[in-house]
Amino acid sequence: MQHVVFNQKGGVGKSTITCNLAAISASQGLRTLVIDLDSQGNSTRYLLADEVSADQPNVADFFEQSLKFTIRDKAPGEFIVNTRWQGLDVMPSSPMLDELHGKLESRHKIYKLRDALKLLATDYDQIYIDTPPALNFYTRSALMAAQGCLIPFDCDDFSRRALYTLLQNVEEIKADHNPDLRVEGIIVNQFQPRANLPQRLVQELIDEGLPVLQPYLGSSVRIRESHEQSLPMIFLDPAHKLTREYVALHDALL
């Protein structure tokens, strides 16, 4: 299964959700890959920590290859790096993604990622794609390639207003380019059950018939420690309440 984690609003937890779901997949024995399409590289640093190197293969190298004529293109798997955890790999991000964006768009390389995922699907049970906070070339490439779209929602009125446009964009890509794409659901993140606003906003989404996933992911300082130590929650603190919420969410998606 190939999941793209997408929201055009920044700071909603895309990288955190991507890496924690992927880490749980790997911990359950599933061969798992994270593809980091965001030039900020948060997922890459989360999973590789100090092992991030400018010399290692990355997703920008993969896209750049499509702009050159070569006798033999490298296979998609040659741009993948192993993490320290068994069964969890990553195709790292690179700042070069920003520089390549216009060239890739003008040369119509939008389906290169889709072609790569078809090959990688034989090697991985679960593929999670982290995307930039914009509907740009890389995000559209991911939506045209993936089977499912997960939408983080941070219980904010601005996020709710943007959600309708986001869903419309996904449905348009589904209709025009990828009939296999479906919205797997809205992931409620940083949920505060004792606050009135988050409860009201989420209930309104449910009342409108939108696919809000259970359980909601709570707010905890432990997730910041997880970022700092480059340890997804399942490896940092398996018994923590937030970890159990992630596991339940992961299993519900399966």
Does a cis peptide bond (omega within 30 degrees of 0) precede residue 215?
Answer: yes
pLDDT digits (tens, 9 = 90+) for 33-42: 999 999 999 9
Beta-bridge partners for 88: 32
pLDDT of residue 53: 77
* CA–CA separation, 20 and 14 (whole Å): 10
Q: Label residue 194 by pLDDT band (50, 70, 90).
A: confident
**Two tokens at 173?**
């890509």
Q: Label residue 4 by pLDDT band (50, 70, 90).
A: very high
Chain centre to alpha carbon of residue 60: 17
Beta-bridge partners for 129: 4, 35
pLDDT of residue 177: 97
**Two tokens at 249?**
């969410």
Under 8 Å CB-to-CB from 53, ≥6 apart: which residues? none
Mean pLDDT of the chain: 95
Q: Label residue 10 by pLDDT band (50, 70, 90).
A: confident
Of 5, 25, 18, nearest in space to 47 by CA: 18
pLDDT of residue 51: 76
pLDDT digits (tens, 9 = 90+) for 225-253: 999 999 999 999 999 999 999 999 999 99
Question: In the chain, what percentage of residues exceed pLDDT 70?
Answer: 100
> Nearest 5 degrees, angle CA 131-CA 133-CA 136?
75
Q: Label residue 156 by pLDDT band (50, 70, 90).
A: confident
pLDDT of residue 139: 98
